[in-house]
Structure 1
Amino acid sequence: MVEAWAEKFVVIGPDPASLAASVADRFLDRVGKRAGEGKTVHVSLTGGSMGAAVLSAASRSAEVNKIDWSLVHFWWSDERFVSRDDTDRNEKQAREALLDSLDLPAENIHAIAAADEGGTLDDAAAAYARELASFGRDGRLWPSFDICFLGVGPDGHIASLFPDRGEIHITDAATVVVRDSPKPPPERVSMTRPVINDSKRVWMVLTGADKASALGLALAGASYSNVPAAGAKGRKRTVFFVDEMAAEKVPHELIDREY
């Protein structure tokens, strides 16, 4: 089955560093405006080199100190089930890149339990689902993220939802455990598609020629079962932020030169 989503746009940067800085500026602008109105902001982060690069770029911006971070809550679309101080852990990357430098209440960081904290992988997924539910609204068992950052793998995976696996089809839960992940480490916790797609804005950030094929398939409306990135969408906006090398197969009409 092929699903075709409307309102997908592509923003192209010349190189990874410039792209990260551009996304960071947009991120701080969006969060700053909402927090400036006294509203609570929920942001879902992602791991990987570009996820960290965007947060690092944000930490260097003069705008970062103008935001009331007490109104901002950080979550993760997925986490590797490793020890708390493992360099593979998305939380560790985000803390080092930005979070630890913010005037941010500890309770605003909603991290998924680590493997060295006494619980099982299933315990971690269940606890994260309960945490999400504690911020639910309108009958949903999760908050609506103002921004959901996602990386995209060369195989088209998002979060820890990989192609041709059962996790991508789960719609009756907020979280899912992933075992024997095709990409190490093997054990993970991931948000499900309904949670991701309830976000106001889904921002996918990807660079490199090895991502061009996945990006092209996602934009062409491939099956989300085969290309999970094709099934990621925001309720207000879905944007692929890419560099020139990843943009090789992007149709010109999808390039947004004003966003």
Structure 2
Amino acid sequence: MSQMATAQGSVKTVVVEPTPAELAVHVADRFLTRVVARTRNGRLAHICLTGGSMGGAVLSAAAKDERIGEIDWSLVHFWWGDERFVERDDPDRNSLQSRQALLDRLEIPEQNIHEVAAPSEGLSLDEAATAYAEELARFAKSGEPWPSFAVCFLGVGPDGHIASLFPDRPEVTATDVAALPVRNSPKPPPERVTLTRPVLNAAKRVWLVLTGADKASALGLALAGASYASVPAAGAKGRRRTVFFVDEAAASQVAPELIDRDY
């Protein structure tokens, strides 16, 4: 097993599959394995989801696994690393994509699915961010400001952004709040709510899933320890594991010795 240690002592692992489809199946398998292990003895599992094509592909692959019928989903809570501030039935909505791919197929209490408010529900963008932070706080352990996700999924943009933490913007360096409003996003739609870096990095496992040659540069910079203010993916770090799940196209600039072929 080859791994890359950062200056902070955490470890970043790269896992490569030939194609996006094969990668989605592999990540879905790891995800369900983790949920089974976490809930086997009645423990809660807080899961942070991501949007985008690969976020949906992983959940769609999980939906085809027979283990979904064996899990006590009342022990699982779903959150999102960011959400587009659009109506709940808007195709741009991350939570809608997740529901269509997997969540609506599960026997899970609706109160275990924690969505950001939509514009028509009486809250402004700022209030929606505040409400999401307050919802997180409701499920935090005593003395903690937010729950620790068992798994936090993150997509990575060609610019290195994660959630709606975009390069060289103030949201990237915020540490005193759990969720923030985002306006004039470099990527449409312009208004969003994002979790902040401390919440994402409180996760036990941060799994970054990225495919395509246009992500190769961002992956290389993240592994090389670039400034997280300029390359937010470089600052993603789970408390136990940080794994970059990538396809061969995205891995084109990764040295072979950095690839974990066993995880």
Question: Normalized against structure 2, the TM-score is what?
Answer: 0.96
Determine if the alignment matches structure 1 residue 90 to structure 2 residue 97.
Answer: no
Could you tell me which runs of 5 or more consecutive residues in structure 2 were left unpaired when the two chains were aligned: 1-5
Q: Which one is further off, 155-164 or 57-66?
A: 57-66
Q: Where in structure 2 are the equivalents of 1:56-135 lying within 5 Å?
A: 56-135=60-139
Shift of residue 3, structure 1, vs aligned partner: 6.6
Shift of residue 4, structure 1, vs aligned partner: 5.7
Determine if the alignment matches structure 1 residue 258 to structure 2 residue 262.
Answer: yes
Could you tell me which runs of 5 or more consecutive residues in structure 1 were left unpaired when the two chains were aligned: none
Question: Equivalents in 2 of 1:134, 1:4: separation in Å?
Answer: 30
Please tell me whether the aligned partners of residues 4 and 221 of structure 1 are also in contact (alpha carbons under 8 angstroms). no
Please tell me whether the aligned partners of residues 3 and 231 of structure 1 are also in contact (alpha carbons under 8 angstroms). no
Determine if the alignment matches structure 1 residue 52 to structure 2 residue 56.
Answer: yes
For residues 212-238 of structure 1, the C-alpha deviation after alignment (integer angstroms, 9 at most, x for no partner) is: 000000000000001000000000000
Shift of residue 139, structure 1, vs aligned partner: 2.1
For residues 16-57 of structure 1, the C-alpha deviation after alignment (integer angstroms, 9 at most, x for no partner) is: 000000000000010011111110000000000000000000
Question: Equivalents in 2 of 1:251, 1:219: separation in Å?
Answer: 10
For residues 111-168 of structure 1, the C-alpha deviation after alignment (integer angstroms, 9 at most, x for no partner) is: 0101121211011001101000001125221100000000000000000000010000
Partner of 1:6: 10
Determine if the alignment matches structure 1 residue 244 to structure 2 residue 248.
Answer: yes
Determine if the alignment matches structure 1 residue 41 to structure 2 residue 45.
Answer: yes
Q: Which runs of 4+ in 1 moved over 2 A?
A: 2-6
SS in 2 for 1:116: helix
Q: Where in structure 2 are the equivalents of 1:211-230 lying within 5 Å?
A: 211-230=215-234
Q: 165, 170, 177: which one pairs with 2:174? A: 170
RMSD of aligned residue pairs (Cα, Å) = 1.1
Question: Between Structure 1 and Structure 2, how many residues are aligned?
Answer: 258
Q: Which one is further off, 3-12 or 148-157?
A: 3-12
Question: Normalized against structure 1, the TM-score is what?
Answer: 0.98
Give 2:17's aligned amino acid: G
Give 1:33's aligned amino acid: A
SS in 2 for 1:44: strand
Question: Equivalents in 1 of 2:207, 2:41: separation in Å?
Answer: 22
Please tell me whether the aligned partners of residues 42 and 144 of structure 1 are also in contact (alpha carbons under 8 angstroms). yes
Q: 236, 239, 246: which one pairs with 1:235? A: 239
Q: Where in structure 2 are the equivalents of 1:201-216 lying within 5 Å?
A: 201-216=205-220
Question: Equivalents in 1 of 2:60, 2:125: separation in Å?
Answer: 29
Shift of residue 251, structure 1, vs aligned partner: 2.0
Please tell me whether the aligned partners of residues 3 and 222 of structure 1 are also in contact (alpha carbons under 8 angstroms). no
Partner of 2:3: none
SS in 1 for 2:98: helix
Partner of 1:150: 154
Question: Equivalents in 2 of 1:251, 1:148: separation in Å?
Answer: 25
Shift of residue 170, structure 1, vs aligned partner: 0.3
Question: Equivalents in 1 of 2:81, 2:112: separation in Å?
Answer: 15
Question: Equivalents in 1 of 2:7, 2:173: separation in Å?
Answer: 13
